[in-house]
């Protein structure tokens, strides 16, 4: 109840543009934990951000994006969910952008990106509309341009981003998916921290 009331006040105040910037600046200081910030992005921007994820509360994450738990987003990440019309007489947004007043509804396709749990995306990464899924545990190297879906626990980098290697052998990936570290509460995480540094102890993680 208190969260809902707080959210209503924030949404009302944020309609004044400069106040929104101030409010988001304040909320982002506690972004790893803030339920209010997550509720705001879900309600106002239709962006879902999971528990303990951070760095993803920016204007460069498009509406409809879903981000899992324990994700780490560095600065400068840009996610695109649509392209200009390349087969039309002009690529200008007059032909598709409703805010410019010449069309009543969008004439381009929009795509939604789902980012799995425990994903680390490096600085200044560009993710193009052709990407709809980034799997659990994936890592995207800084400065990469991602043009296709990223497999779980894979490391990709470059322009265009290509697969470099998997973080672990299959047996350890299966263990991590079974243990679901990304669903642990903070208390459960603390209890299991000593087992997370050593690949040979992953099987002892207990949630």
Catalytic residue among 84, 92, 117, 203: 84
Write out the two tokens for 97.
């952008």
Distance CA 153, CA 148 (A): 15
Which DSSP letter does residue 109 get?
Answer: -
Cα dihedral: 130, 131, 132, 138 (round 10): 170
CB burial of residue 190 (10 Å; 0-12, 13-18, 19+): exposed
Distance CA 49, CA 46 (A): 10
Note whether 136 and 118 are within 8 A (CB): yes
Is residue 203 annotated as part of the catalytic site, yes or no? Answer: no
As annotated, the active-site residues are 84
């Amino acid at each position: 109840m208190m969260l809902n009331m707080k959210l209503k006040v924030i949404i009302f105040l944020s309609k004044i543009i400069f106040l929104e910037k101030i409010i988001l600046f304040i909320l982002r200081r506690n972004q790893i934990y803030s339920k209010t910030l997550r509720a705001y992005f879900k309600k106002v921007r239709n962006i879902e951000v999971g528990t303990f994820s951070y760095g993803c509360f920016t204007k460069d994450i498009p509406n409809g994006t879903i981000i899992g738990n324990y994700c780490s987003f560095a600065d400068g990440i840009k996610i695109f969910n649509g392209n200009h019309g390349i087969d039309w007489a002009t690529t200008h947004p007059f032909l598709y952008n409703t805010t410019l007043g010449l069309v009543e509804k969008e004439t381009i396709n929009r795509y939604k990106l789902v980012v799995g749990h425990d994903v680390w995306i490096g600085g200044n990464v560009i993710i193009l509309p052709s990407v709809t899924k980034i799997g659990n545990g994936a890592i995207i190297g800084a400065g990469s341009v991602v043009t296709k879906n990223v497999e779980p626990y894979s490391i990709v980098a470059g322009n265009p981003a290509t697969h470099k290697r998997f973080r672990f052998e299959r047996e350890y990936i299966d263990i991590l998916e079974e243990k679901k570290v990304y669903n642990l509460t903070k208390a459960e995480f603390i209890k299991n921290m000593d087992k997370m540094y050593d690949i040979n102890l992953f099987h002892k993680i207990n949630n």
